[in-house]
């Protein structure tokens, strides 16, 4: 008698957390694994396309235009998604240089903000196949050293600015609504005759922004569509009251992919009132036979290393074995975490000649973007 029990494939609301990912994390469901990897690759695209060269007058922008974005970052499913909007942000802290890159050029395109991410939607063909329109918000983490987390500070701040109309005392809620809310509202209205899901994703600082933005959406009226945050290496963002209020919204769910040895998710500390948010998928980069026994906290926090481990994760007690095809070389995009015998150079994702080109006069100069890639500020993140 065949004792094999056939496990039903989870429906898309379950993959987005409608049942708190119950029964999908250990063992890690294949469809959920692929969704997590897709979100991680959407995050990685924000790093790969960000211009942090302070010698360029376009420092702080995205290197690529919306039409060609996914192809130029070599996103695997480039033809399946379209960029609907770019997002920009500024920083209201004393040490702005910890967050913002600014050009040294007097002709800088923008001295007040940096490109922080994008909103993407699935194409008509993919949406028809999936049975829903996917809306993704991918938010970039900082590319500075991790000193940013000390500069940001750990003193809790009021969430009043995120709260909805019921908590607004001056009747000016709509005028103050962040532009992200405005754009998501436009897209939901555009696809009102379809099933729609909104997934926010980010790594590190971008993960924090993704969680807060998910909270922002449901607090400001997005209560009848699934809103999920699938994040990586996320610092704590709120206290007990924040988490309790988040849980009151049945349509929002947070999945946190967390490396056991990563220190960033443990900051700010619980003694300051901070609590973990959402459901954890705990992984351990030490499980992979391809990674060095690194003592560098930046390696423990590296996004591509986490995605490599997600691809082969079989639980705390299981052996590491890839369940989906994923190129090992991706790990070393911005680090040197792979063992030397893998023969992959470290930090290999760089602009050719660091963006220098030879002009008609034989002079080497910093290249200007192609016309389709010229930055055009549109939506502020907040």
Residue among 301, 308, 334, 373 flagged as catalytic: 301
- 34-53: per-residue pLDDT in tens? 999 999 999 999 999 999 88
Give kind and range of the element (H or E) at residue 282: strand 279-283
pLDDT higher for 129 or 111? 129
Q: Which tens digit of pLDDT belongs to each residue from 1-20?
A: 444 455 689 999 999 999 99
Q: How far apart are CA 47 and CA 117, in angstroms?
A: 9
276 included as an active-site residue: no
pLDDT digits (tens, 9 = 90+) for 300-320: 999 999 999 999 999 999 999
Query: What is the Cα–Cα distance from 141 to 105, expressed in whole angstroms?
Result: 24
Q: What b/e readout covers 307-333, taking b as 16+ CB neighbours within 10 angstroms?
A: bbbbbbbeeeeeebeeeeebebebbbb
Segment 284-302, tens digit of pLDDT: 999 999 999 999 999 999 9
Structural domains for the chain = 12-377 (3.40.50.1820)
Phi, psi of 48 (to 5 degrees): -65, -25
Q: Where are the alpha helices (DSSP H) in the chain?
A: 12-15, 30-48, 69-72, 124-130, 148-152, 173-176, 179-190, 205-219, 240-247, 297-300, 303-312
Contact 235, 262 (CB under 8 A): no
What are 321-330's pLDDT values in tens digits?
A: 999 999 999 9
For the four alpha carbons of 339, 341, 342 and 345, in that order, the dihedral sign comes to positive
Q: What is the mean pLDDT of residues 333-352?
A: 96
Which tens digit of pLDDT belongs to each residue from 52-98? 888 888 888 999 999 999 999 999 999 999 999 999 987 655 455 55
pTM of the predicted protein model = 0.90
Residues listed for the chain: 382
Report the distance separating Cα 103 and Cα 117, nearest Å.
19
Catalytic residue among 122, 197, 204, 228: 204
Whether the pLDDT of residue 181 is over 50: the answer is yes
Is the pLDDT confidence value at 165 over 50?
A: no
- 41, 216, 262, 382: the catalytic one is 262
**CA-angle at 231, arms to 140 and 272, nearest 5°:** 95
- How much is the pLDDT for 159? 52
Q: Are 363 and 64 in contact (CB under 8 A)?
A: no
Determine whether 262 is an active site residue.
yes
Q: What is residue 144's predicted lDDT score, i.e. its pLDDT?
A: 60
Asked if 71 is an active-site residue, the reply is no
- Top-confidence residue, 357 or 172: 357
Best-predicted range by mean pLDDT among 36-45, 99-108, 144-153, 259-268?
36-45
């Amino acid at each position: 008698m065949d004792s094999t029990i056939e496990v039903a494939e989870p429906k898309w609301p379950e993959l987005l957390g409608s049942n708190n990912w119950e029964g999908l994390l250990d063992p890690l469901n294949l469809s959920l694994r692929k969704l997590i990897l897709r979100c991680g690759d959407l995050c990685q695209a924000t790093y790969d396309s960000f211009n942090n060269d302070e010698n360029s007058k376009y420092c702080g922008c995205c290197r690529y235009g919306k039409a060609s974005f996914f192809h130029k970052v070599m996103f695997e499913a480039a033809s399946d998604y379209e960029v609907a909007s770019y997002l920009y942000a500024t920083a209201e802290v004393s040490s702005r240089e910890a967050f913002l890159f600014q050009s040294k050029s007097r002709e800088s395109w923008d001295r007040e903000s940096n490109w922080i991410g994008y909103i993407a939607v699935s194409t008509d063909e993919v949406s028809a196949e999936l049975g829903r329109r996917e809306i993704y918000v991918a938010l970039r983490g900082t590319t500075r050293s991790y000193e940013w987390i000390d500069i940001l500070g750990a003193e809790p701040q009021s969430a009043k600015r995120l709260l909805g109309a019921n908590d607004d005392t001056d009747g000016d809620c709509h005028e103050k609504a962040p532009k992200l809310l405005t754009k998501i509202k436009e897209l939901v209205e555009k696809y009102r005759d379809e099933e729609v899901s909104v997934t926010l994703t980010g790594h590190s600082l971008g993960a924090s922004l993704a969680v807060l933005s998910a909270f922002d959406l449901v607090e400001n009226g997005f209560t009848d569509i699934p809103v999920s945050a699938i994040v990586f290496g996320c610092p704590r963002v709120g206290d007990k009251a924040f988490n309790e209020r988040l849980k009151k919204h049945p349509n929002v769910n947070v999945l946190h992919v967390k490396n056991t040895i990563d220190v960033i998710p443990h900051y700010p500390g619980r003694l300051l009132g901070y609590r973990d948010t959402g459901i954890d998928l705990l992984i351990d980069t030490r499980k992979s036979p391809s990674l060095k026994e690194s003592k560098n906290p930046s390696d423990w926090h590296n996004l591509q290393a986490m995605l490599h481990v997600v691809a082969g994760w079989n639980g705390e007690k299981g052996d590491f074995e890839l369940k989906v095809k994923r190129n090992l070389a991706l790990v070393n995009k911005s680090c040197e975490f792979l063992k030397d015998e893998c023969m992959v150079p470290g930090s290999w994702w760089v602009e050719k000649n660091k963006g220098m080109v030879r002009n008609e006069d034989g002079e080497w100069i910093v290249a200007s973007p192609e016309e389709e890639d010229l930055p055009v500020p549109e939506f502020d993140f907040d």
